[in-house]
Structure 1
Amino acid sequence: MPLSLSSEQTRKILSNPSFRELTAARARLRWGLSIVTLLMFFGFIGLISAASSALGKSMAGGAVPLGMSIALGMIAMVVALTGYYVRRSNTYFDGLTQLVRRECGR
């Protein structure tokens, strides 16, 4: 069941300093992680177009090509960034959310 708020309750929440801090912090983190992820992926695509022959060569005589190692590293980085977001959300953001609820009577 959706939660309906009066216009007065909505104004109270939107003007709450803790709510503003929560939304600003979430936006900064979301944009920061998105930019890092996009730079990684577009950087990799640029690397493929500029040095595709080097990416096909094996590293130090191993069986795994350099391009595959970089791709797996990027996947691991995205998983790590997701873990960081979840941890930050479960600690800092959840605390701010509870504070906003207490201050706004919800």
Structure 2
Amino acid sequence: MHDEIYKKIENDPRFQQLVKRRQKFAWTLSLVMLAIYYTFIMVIAFKPELLAIPLSADTITTVGIPAGVAIIVSAFVLTGIYVHRANSEFDDLNAVIVKEASK
């Protein structure tokens, strides 16, 4: 019985579209995160003096500290964006497909 439902779902064009959209979205967010990390590493490798600039004249905190924090925060933000879209758009469409396949 479950095999029939699985085959119905797998053959549903809306499910195939859902899989493609979800993969495209996940890859896009992954590439954005990769670009952020790659840029940071390239700055460290070729222009480390940019990260060594103090935030102000009377502090020892450099530009590198907020840049590193921004990279970590960007990972959380991108994860939040994915979770929001998955919980709204992707899950709603998935529920409709499963419901119709179970009939």
State whether TM-score is above 0.5.
yes
1:72 and 2:69 are equivalent in the alignment: yes
Deviation at 1:79, TM superposition (A): 0.9
Query: What residue is the counterpart of 1:58 in the other structure?
Result: 54
What is the TM-score normalised by the length of structure 2?
A: 0.88
CA contact (8 A) 1:18 1:99 kept: no
Q: How many residues align?
A: 102
- Which segments of 5 or more consecutive residues in structure 1 lack a partner in the other structure? none
Q: Percent identity?
A: 28
Contact 2:52–2:62 (8 Å) recurs in 1: yes
Q: Measure, in 1, the Cα distance between the counterparts of 2:70 and 2:83.
A: 20
Cα separation, 2, equivalents of 1:23 and 1:33: 15
Three-state SS of the structure 2 residue aligned to 1:64 is: coil
**Kept in 1: contact 2:5–2:102 (CA 8 A):** no
Runs of 4+ aligned structure 1 residues displaced above 4 Å come to: none
